Chains A and B, each alone.
Chain A
Amino acid sequence: NAGVTQTPKFQVLKTGQSMTLQCAQDMNHNSMYWYRQDPGMGLRLIYYSASEGTTDKGEVPNGYNVSRLNKREFSLRLESAAPSQTSVYFCASSMTDATDTQYFGPGTRLTVL
């Protein structure tokens, strides 16, 4: 039981490049989330998915898109990376909603030059 896995662990992009961050969970959870974590700030919700086939914007969705490919997988895409998107990105999942215990992945450290 791996919990929540994320790939890649590290990534460096140039401004304007695109990439997709992958996330998968094997706990049969219904809800999945993408957060970013910046120094001096708490985790901020980018997008979430309450169930397979549904996605919704969180607090800071601009510049990102997501896909809930199936119940296990939830990907985050940066279409045209900007330096302001330099951050550590965490995927999380929970059985029901965000007030249920959230299990986090190990994170992806992204640098945009």
Chain B
Amino acid sequence: QVQLQESGPGLVKPSETLSLTCAVSGGSISSYSWGWVRQPAGKGLEWIGHIYNGENTYYSPSLRSRVTMSVDTSKNQLSLRVNSVSAADTAVYYCARLISVAGGDAFDLWGQGTMVTVSS
């Protein structure tokens, strides 16, 4: 079955760029849509954005100016970049698969998450 595995540096300095990848195994990344969600310690889930058809992206308005998502079909992986990070970006970052639902899609498969700390 399809599995997701996030990876990236666990520590990023303030003002720098956070870069994460999500490796998709057991299936083709081209067959689905994908998204990223983050969760600060002790807090709720925050929608970062999602990508359809490998290129159509939708970002949370609160993060839109700093976020870029992309799909690399040759590597079967999803990428996330967040620019100009601050301590407020410290969180567990999840990649997840979207399933098509008539009234708005849902995340049916999640990676285990990767912790990112922003600190000098």
Partners in one complex: no
